[in-house]
Chains A and B, each alone.
Chain A
Amino acid sequence: MIFVFFLILLMLVGAVAASIFRDLISAVIAAALVSLAAAILFYFLQAPDVAMAEAAIGAALTTAIFIIAIRRTKRYEE
Chain B
Amino acid sequence: MGFLNNYIYYIGAFGLILIGLYTILVKHNLIKVIVGLGILDTGVNLFLISVGYITKGTAPIFSRPGIDSEHMVDPVPQALVLTAIVIGVAVLALALSLAIRLYQHYGTLNLRKIREQRW
Indicate whether A and B are direct neighbours in the complex (CB within 8 Å). yes
Convert A43-66 into 0s and 1s, putting 1 for each residue whose CB lies closer than 8 angstroms to a CB of B.
Answer: 001111110011001100110011
CB within 8 Å: A-B pair count? 126
Q: Contacts A8-B8, A19-B19, A31-B35 given; indicate if A45 touches B50 (C-beta within 8 A).
A: yes
A54 to B45, CA, bound (A): 10
A58 CB contacts on chain B under 8 angstroms: 42, 85, 88-89
The interface size bin for chain B is: 35 or more
Min CB distance B20 to A, Å, is: 7
Within the complex, the shortest CB–CB distance from B11 to chain A, in Å, comes to 8
With a 10 A CB-CB cut-off, give which of A15, A38, A41 has the most chain B CB atoms: A15
Q: Is the CB of B8 within 8 A of A38?
A: no
Q: A15-B15, A19-B19, A45-B49 given as contacts; is B36 within 8 A of A69 (CB)?
A: no
Instruction: Find residues 26-46 in chain B having any chain A CB closer than 8 Å to their own CB.
Output: 27-29, 31-32, 34-36, 38-39, 42, 45-46
A43 to chain B, nearest CB (A): 9
Given A16-B19, A73-B103, A78-B29; A50-B81 close (CB under 8 Å)? yes
Q: Does A42 lie within 8 Å of B49, measured CB to CB?
A: yes
Nearest residue, chain A, Cβ from B29: A77
Q: How far is the CA of A38 from the CA of B43 in the complex (A)?
A: 9
Binary CB contact string for chain B from 12 to 28 against chain A (1 if under 8 A, 0 otherwise): 10011001101100011
Q: Please tell me if the beta carbons of B78 and A49 are within 8 angstroms of each other in the complex.
A: yes
Give per-residue flags for A29-45: 1 if the beta carbon is below 8 A from chain B beta carbons, else 0: 00100110010011001
A–B Cβ pairs within 8 angstroms, 29 of them? A8-B8, A8-B9, A8-B11, A8-B12, A12-B19, A15-B16, A15-B39, A19-B19, A19-B22, A19-B36, A24-B29, A24-B31, A28-B35, A34-B39, A34-B42, A42-B46, A45-B53, A48-B61, A49-B78, A50-B49, A53-B86, A58-B88, A61-B89, A69-B97, A69-B99, A70-B31, A73-B31, A73-B100, A78-B28
